[in-house]
Amino acid sequence: MISPPGGEDPISAIFDLSDRVAQMAPTVRRMYRYTAVILVIWIAIMAALVLIGIAASAILALLAILGLAAGVIGLSLLRQTDRFFRAFALRNRFIRLLREADAEPKIPEGRTPIERLVRHLALSNARVDAALKEDPGRARLRVTYPAGAQPVAFDLVVSVPGSAWYRTLGWGDPGFAILARTGPDAPVVADLERMAADAQAVSGLLGCAVVRLLLLRTQAIPLPEDVYEHAVGHPAVLRHRFHESRVPVEVATERPDGTYEFIPTVLGVP
């Protein structure tokens, strides 16, 4: 879309307005917490008045019931508003990531495809970069886990342990783990399903949440339609204690022009 001379690009203006609204997220979250606390206290007071009114006065009990109902309705509406704003902020984050991301990420230097992938993960994600600078040992090559009857191996594991609460109950800081494996240049659906099953088998041994699964190949052979659709529409379902997450199995390809191709494209994770 071409803006008139002296005018502002309307698409950029919409994005800028969305950014300004998203910047209010911390303030809105504080307002939500304060209002929720007030409503919970109100509901507790009204519940106590209902009990007192039943014994003392029918009119007081009726008024307390009406106040209790109003508090419950108000809290429900507040939760719906919070979910809406969370969804808006999350959508804005993804739009910003798409605007800032390289259309075709370059393949960094490295002796092997896995080494190049590690460097790409660090260059493209500030959290991964900080974790590896703090402790380079968090990136491990050719790791084998004793999971079930057959051991499960990955060519790359980048992991930051979660909190003790997460490791025992599945709550709290989950940390993160990125699992990668060099796959066949012409993968089939079974390869993606095996990657998902192996991730589930070792998720309890990692002490953190798996956030990315990468099947790396070095030849840019066109993917069959069923493999493409499975990668895009059938994420791995990973469970740990009471926590459940859906993580797509990404097919990462080193292309001859020196760039990566990711199917599907995952941004801002971890």
Other residues' Cβ atoms within 10 Å of the Cβ of residue 240: 21
Closest CA to 260 of 205, 232, 218, 230: 218
Query: Is residue 4 predicted with pLDDT exceeding 70?
Result: no
List the domain boundaries for the chain.
Answer: 10-100, 113-263
Q: What is the pLDDT of residue 181?
A: 96
Closest CA to 91 of 178, 15, 28, 30: 15
6 conformational bin, left if phi > 0, alpha if psi -120 to 50, beta if neither: left
**Using one digit for the tens of pLDDT, what is the confidence trace for 130-178?**
999 999 999 999 999 987 778 999 999 999 998 888 877 777 788 999 9
Q: Which residue has the higher pLDDT, 20 or 118?
A: 118
Query: Is residue 77 predicted with pLDDT exceeding 50?
Result: yes
| Sign of the CA dihedral with 222 first, then 115, 195, and 167 last | negative
Q: How far is CA 161 from the centre of its chain?
A: 16
Task: Give the C-alpha distances (Å, rounded to integers) separating 139 from 46, 83, 233.
Answer: 55, 36, 29
Phi, psi (rounded to 5 degrees) for 198:
-65, -35
Phi, psi (rounded to 5 degrees) for 252:
-100, 130
Q: Grade residue 16 by pLDDT with cuts at 50, 70 and 90.
A: low
Listed range (81-95, 127-141, 233-247) with the worst mean pLDDT: 81-95
In the chain, which residue ranges form alpha helices assigned H by DSSP? 10-22, 25-56, 58-100, 113-124, 126-134, 164-169, 189-206, 225-233
- The structural architecture, per CATH, of the domain 113-263 is 3-Layer(aba) Sandwich (3.40)
Q: Grade residue 204 by pLDDT with cuts at 50, 70 and 90.
A: confident
Question: What are the residues whose beta carbons fall under 8 Å from the beta carbon of 110, sequence distance 6 or more?
Answer: 116, 117, 118, 119
Query: Is residue 114 predicted with pLDDT exceeding 90?
Result: yes
Q: Are 237 and 244 in contact (CB under 8 A)?
A: yes
How large is the average pLDDT for residues 237-249?
A: 84
- Determine the Cα–Cα distance for residues 224 and 185; give it in Å rounded to an integer: 12
Q: What is the pLDDT of residue 6?
A: 47
> Whose structure tokens read 């990125």?
178
Query: Is residue 69 predicted with pLDDT exceeding 60?
Result: yes
Listed range (30-39, 82-91, 216-225) with the worst mean pLDDT: 82-91
Task: Give the C-alpha distances (Å, rounded to integers) separating 68 from 33, 63, 156, 171.
Answer: 19, 9, 55, 31
